[in-house]
Every structure is written in structure tokens, then in C-alpha cells.
């Protein structure tokens, strides 16, 4: 049985992004998840996770920030995943580390590490969000993160738009130690817009409060105009292919 859901409307996404920025400001810093993966490093669904690379970027792990960046996704192959599917596994198992378990157990922000960085081989306007499950059991994320932008600490009031008309599995499964990738194109049309030096990320707006959002600096600030965010996938290139 397949469960079909529709994404938030543009207005609701804007409200979430505004609330996320407000929560981050009032909390006085970033929030993410406690570090220390204690599970096997297995990818979501039927595919293994691509390991994070070493390009410059920023991350949030609980109340402490740590340097790091997403993998460029090289070696995982160029993906052409359809936006109509949220996961890649069959979820036929019954253990706490499989997709079926993840579908019924949303991820906890305390057990996630969120990072942002650039990726080799992708357009210069693209940044990559990675969400790593540090827990010992699989968990499920919404189809994509909610993304907002700031400049010099002030919210720009711009929200990245995700693909519409989605359906499929009830969540994107992330197995223990695995990483989900989401590509964010700051300026897909090459338009004129304000320069963002910070990105605001809420890994799962369907199950997490705005206070669980993460504010991360962009080591390579860029103009933001009609930004888009891709679906969670096992590589950055696959996620970009869903835009």
C-alpha cells in the first residue's frame, strides 16, 4: 500500500522558514543532534550511503558546531530519481535498522548531524545539505528539508521551493550511520537577488519544531533568487536530479 502526501504550500513553507529563523535567533545558536554513530554505516533503502567528503563547509552537532562538508557524490553515479518516490528500499525486513522500521519512527534532531557545503561537479549555485543518522536504529525523514536564508544575521524571507505532487513511501528512510543528501540551488535561473551568507535548515518540518532548526554559515555566500531544494537522496547528484 502506498501512501500519498502533498507538500506544504508556498505560503506555509514561508511561515515555517520565518518561524525557523525566529527560533534560531531566540535560541542564540544552532541546534542539531548529538554526535557518535553507533550503528553500521549502511545507506537508506537498498543503496549504501555515500560517505562525506572533505570540502569546506559547516555543520551542527547538538549545541556545538563542527567543521565539515558533504560528499561531492562522486562515484555514486548520476542519479535520475523521480520526485514521485521518497525512498529507495523495499522495507521488507522487521529489524530496527531497516526501512519498515524507519517509516514508523521519525528521526530525532538529537540523533542527527546536519552539514552544508559545496560539491565538486555540480553548478556553482548549488549547496548540499547532509543529514546523518547517528542513532542505533533507522528513522524516517520528510521528503526534503525546509530551507531559509539569512544575511548578516537577518532573515531574507526567502524559502527554497521543493518539487510538487509527491507520493510514495511514508518517509525517507535513513539507516544507522547513513547520510541523506539534499541539493539546494540558490539561484537556478541566474536572477538578481540578495547575497546570503547563512542557510537555515529544518531537517523534517513535519515532525520537528522550529527550535530543532540549524543555522549554518555558507563558506561561499551566493545570490539567492527563486531557490529550489531537492528531495533527500543517497547522493547530492541524485537529489539535484529531482529538481
pLDDT at 167: 83
Task: For the chain, list the strands marked E by DSSP.
Answer: 57-61, 64-67, 112-117, 126-133, 139-141, 146-151, 154-159, 172-174, 179-185, 195-202, 214-223, 228-229
pLDDT in tens, 3-40: 334 333 344 444 445 455 434 433 333 333 333 333 33
Strand 57-61, strand 112-117: pairing:
antiparallel
H/E element, 57: strand 57-61
* Residue of 202 and 36 predicted with greater confidence: 202
N-terminal to C-terminal alpha carbon distance within the chain: 26
Domain ranges of the chain: 10-240
pLDDT at 165: 83
pLDDT at 59: 59
DSSP character for 7? P
Q: How confident is the model at residue 94 (pLDDT cuts 50, 70, 90)?
A: low
- Average model confidence (pLDDT) across the chain: 74
pLDDT in tens, 58-79: 655 433 333 334 444 433 333 3
Give CA separation, 221 vs 118, 146, 186, 202, in Å: 11, 19, 10, 19
- Cell readout for 243 is 529538481
Q: For 213-227, what is the mean pLDDT?
A: 96
Does the pLDDT at position 210 exceed 90?
A: yes
Among 1-10, 159-168, 198-207, the range scoring the smallest mean pLDDT is 1-10
pLDDT in tens, 82-93: 333 334 343 444
Amino acid at each position: 500500500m502506498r501512501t500519498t502526501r502533498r507538500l506544504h504550500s508556498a505560503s506555509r513553507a514561508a511561515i515555517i522558514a520565518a518561524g525557523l529563523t525566529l527560533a534560531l535567533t531566540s535560541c542564540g545558536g544552532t541546534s542539531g543532534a548529538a554526535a557518535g554513530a553507533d550503528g553500521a554505516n549502511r545507506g537508506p533503502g537498498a543503496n549504501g550511503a555515500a560517505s562525506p567528503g572533505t570540502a569546506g563547509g559547516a555543520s551542527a552537532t547538538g549545541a556545538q558546531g563542527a567543521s565539515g562538508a558533504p560528499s561531492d557524490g562522486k562515484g555514486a553515479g548520476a542519479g535520475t530519481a523521480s520526485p514521485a518516490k521518497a525512498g529507495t528500499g523495499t522495507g521488507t525486513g522487521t529489524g530496527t535498522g531497516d526501512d519498515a522500521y524507519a517509516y514508523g519512527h521519525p528521526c530525532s534532531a538529537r540523533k542527527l548531524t546536519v552539514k552544508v557545503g559545496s560539491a565538486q561537479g555540480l553548478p556553482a549555485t548549488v549547496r548540499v545539505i547532509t543529514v546523518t543518522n547517528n542513532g542505533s536504529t533507522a528513522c524516517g525523514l520528510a521528503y526534503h528539508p525546509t530551507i531559509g536564508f539569512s544575511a548578516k544575521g537577518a532573515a531574507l524571507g526567502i524559502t527554497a521551493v521543493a518539487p510538487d505532487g509527491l507520493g510514495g513511501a511514508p518517509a525517507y528512510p535513513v539507516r544507522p550511520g547513513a547520510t541523506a543528501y539534499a541539493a539546494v540551488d540558490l539561484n537556478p535561473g541566474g536572477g538578481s537577488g540578495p547575497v546570503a551568507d547563512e542557510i537555515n535548515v529544518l531537517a523534517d518540518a513535519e515532525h520537528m519544531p522550529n527550535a530543532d532548526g540549524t543555522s549554518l554559515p555558507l563558506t561561499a555566500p551566493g545570490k539567492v533568487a527563486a531557490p529550489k531544494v531537492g528531495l533527500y537522496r543517497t547522493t547530492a547528484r541524485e537529489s539535484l536530479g529531482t529538481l
